[in-house]
Amino acid sequence: MKFSFPATVLAAAAAISLPAAAHDAPTPKAAQPAVIATKLADTRAALRDLWIGHVFWVRNVVDARFEGDKAAADAAERQVVENAKAIAGAIEPFYGNAASEKLFTLLAGHWGAVKSYLDAAVVNNKPGQDAAMSKLLANANDIATFLGGANPNLPVETLKGLLAAHGSHHVQQIGEFKAKQWDAEAKTWAAMTQHMYVIADALADGLAMQFPEKFR
């Protein structure tokens, strides 16, 4: 039996895949059964913390770069990398060390593309931003293909939409920091965090479907 994403997940992927619309997307609400097994609830919570950590530390890098605070930016970037290691490490009990290392490489590529976009935005390099955006979307496809290939309960095309929307949130946020559009950025941040919950819950639920013995 294949896992089907809740309707809210599909709606989120469709509604916020474009940078310009990131802060206009409806906030997804997790469709949960009345009772969730304790191990699944714990896994959802752990993955939510990890994915929220990702956007939190990336936002800190963006903020510090536009403030011109190199020390703060460097410190936040180190945390982005440590967080990526933790996210990758979370799949090791299910898929092994090689898969964990592969996911870390892909997540490093995600951060590399976001950083390239940020670097280009800081100096108003539009071609550089376009190139970085192309890398970001290609990397989203690579991560989706990897995760979907590892877990048949995770539809690759839906993952591609979710991860492309996530990358678009980064791009939207960078533009709003650059333009000092603080109210708009607050809306983007709210959408980003809710989107992280959607991704984390989908991954946790997919694991529970694939490895039911680990969730009893």
Secondary structure (DSSP) of 59-107: HHHHHHHHHT-HHHHHHHHHHHHHHHHHHHHTTHHHH-HHHHHHHHHHH
pTM (2 decimals)? Answer: 0.84
Q: What is the pLDDT along the chain (216 residues), one digit of tens a residue?
A: 333 343 333 343 333 333 333 444 444 444 454 457 899 999 999 999 999 999 999 999 999 999 999 999 999 999 999 999 999 999 999 999 999 999 999 999 999 999 999 999 999 999 999 999 999 999 999 999 999 999 999 999 999 999 999 999 999 999 999 999 999 999 999 999 999 999 999 999 999 999 999 998
Sequence-ordered list of residues with C-beta below 8 angstroms from that of 109, at least 6 positions apart, any chain: 135, 139, 142
What lies within 8 Å, CB to CB, of 90 at 6+ separation is 46, 47, 50
What gap in Å lies between CA 21 and CA 37, rounded to an integer? Answer: 35
pLDDT for the residue 108? 98
pLDDT at 173: 98
